Amino acid sequence: MFDFDMLGLGPSLNSALERAGFKEPTPIQNQAIPLALDGHDILGLAQTGTGKTLAFGLPLIEHLLAAPGKPAPKTVKALILAPTRELVNQIADNLRPLTEGSKLRVATVVGGQSINRQIGVLARGTDVLVATPGRLIDLMDRGAVDLGQVRHLVLDEADQMLDLGFIHALRKIAPRLGTPRQTMLFSATMPKQMEELSRAYLNDPRRVQVSPPGKAADKVTQSVHFVAKADKPAKLREILSRDPDALTLVFSRTKHGAEKLMKGLVADGFNAASIHGNKSQGQRDRAIRDFRAGTTTILVATDVAARGIDIPGVAYVINFDLPEVPDNYVHRIGRTARAGREGEAIAFCAPDEGDLLRQIQKLMKIEIPVASGTSPLPGDDDERGNRRSGGPRRRGQRSGGGGGGGGAKAPAPAGKGRRPRRRRQA
């Protein structure tokens, strides 16, 4: 077991960690922090909820503390890019307590907020700037920020930035950054494009990885319901009704679908809110705040909007629609079983989503146990079909490599399905 003070961090930062309640580093932090403190570029691969923010944030702050001096007006010393407003805010919220008592300033710039106010903040100079690429380019075009003094660059959730087309924004930002610089790229998955990105922007990086790409958190219990598309809303209400007070995150593939689903749930008496790209920043912040506090128990979200949701109390993740990108399934179910807790991931698979499920299982190298319905996957013989049509796993059965869900109980009679007992919320 390692303590943070064994990783090479200075006394002031160790004291800040102690005040913030951090006692020992996670595996990704154990691997990444010493290498980053030595100045190496880092390619970090770890599933969500494993502490990636501190893995890059702690060495970043340590470097800045060792290089005193107030940033010049409009300049930035360290830049962290993240794909969504929620993730930007989460990163900043995690870093600010660690800079208390120092002169380091952490600022954020995201879309959906007053650009004039952000121009005013940047005018004073910033030690650490956490930003979404689009808004940062807007500020660059207005001459509001000078990136020529940036000596530390972090790309967080880089795979999602690729999915959103931010690679084009990165090509505009990178030439404006100072050199030499240290670059750290962190991601939960490693698609082929990520290798190309690392070769383009990292210099002889050290690769740190604590779980294979596509592997879900060990404490996530997974299951799939094979259900007709038209029957998904009824199945969702049935499952939600079993444990109405638990924090449940429901994923929809589209913004319109998320909003329609949320409104239907509210009309039926469920305590639900939604978060997606058509919501204002204030609406998104309020929805996450209420969900975190438990005043809202069901949050319907799209993939993009859900990045940055780090709420340890999430008990269930329900994939109302399967994602078209298999890696996004790993991201989704990583929203539960965080900070050492257990969690459950439930997927709905309509007949036309069979290929999406097959791709997910291939990526994760598991067969997700079937909770109800008949598999639409071709090639299932009667024996396999009987085995796969069993009920949900008993509490304690986990998904694992090469798993098959054998030994599952027969499904409960209609209306008698038992949802796992309510978890105590954090």
Residue 416 reports pLDDT greater than 60: no
> In this structure, are residues 232 and 348 in contact, taking their beta carbons and an 8 Å threshold?
yes
- Domain residue spans of the chain: 4-209, 220-388
Measured between alpha carbons, how far is 196 from 294 in angstroms, rounded to an integer?
41
CATH architecture of 220-388: 3-Layer(aba) Sandwich (3.40)
Q: What is the C-alpha to C-alpha distance for residues 404 and 387, in angstroms, rounded to an integer?
A: 9
The answer to whether residue 92 scores a pLDDT higher than 90 is yes
How many helices (H) and strands (E) are present in the chain, helices listed first? 16, 14
For residue 401, how many other CB atoms are within 10 A of its CB? 9
Of 95-104, 127-136, 330-339, 345-354, minimum mean pLDDT range: 330-339
Q: Is the pLDDT of residue 401 over 60?
A: no
For all residues of the chain together, what is the average pLDDT? Answer: 83
pLDDT at 356 over 50: yes
Q: Go through the chain and tell me how many residues it has.
A: 426
Among the residue ranges 145-159, 178-192, 405-419, the one predicted with the least confidence is 405-419
More confident call, 130 vs 363: 130
* CA–CA dist 48, 25 (Å, integer): 15
Rounded Cα gap, residues 279 and 112, in angstroms: 10
SS3 letters for 175-200? Answer: HHCCCCCEEEEEECCCCHHHHHHHHH
57, amino acid identity:
G
For position 340, what pLDDT does the model report?
A: 60
Residue 50 pLDDT = 77
Report field, pTM of the whole predicted structure over 0.75: no
Closest listed residue to residue 399, CA positions, set 309, 324, 330 = 330
207 three-class SS: strand
Q: Say whether 220-388 and 4-209 share the same fold.
A: yes
Q: Which of 183-197, 291-305, 396-410 has the lowest mean pLDDT?
A: 396-410
Phi first, then psi: what are they for 272, rounded to 5°?
A: -125, 155
184 backbone dihedrals φ, ψ, rounded to 5°: -125, 125
CATH code that applies to domain 4-209 = 3.40.50.300
CA–CA separation, 337 vs 49, rounded Å?
A: 8
Looking at residue 385, its pLDDT comes to 41
- How would you classify residue 8: left for phi > 0, otherwise alpha for psi between -120 and 50, otherwise beta? left
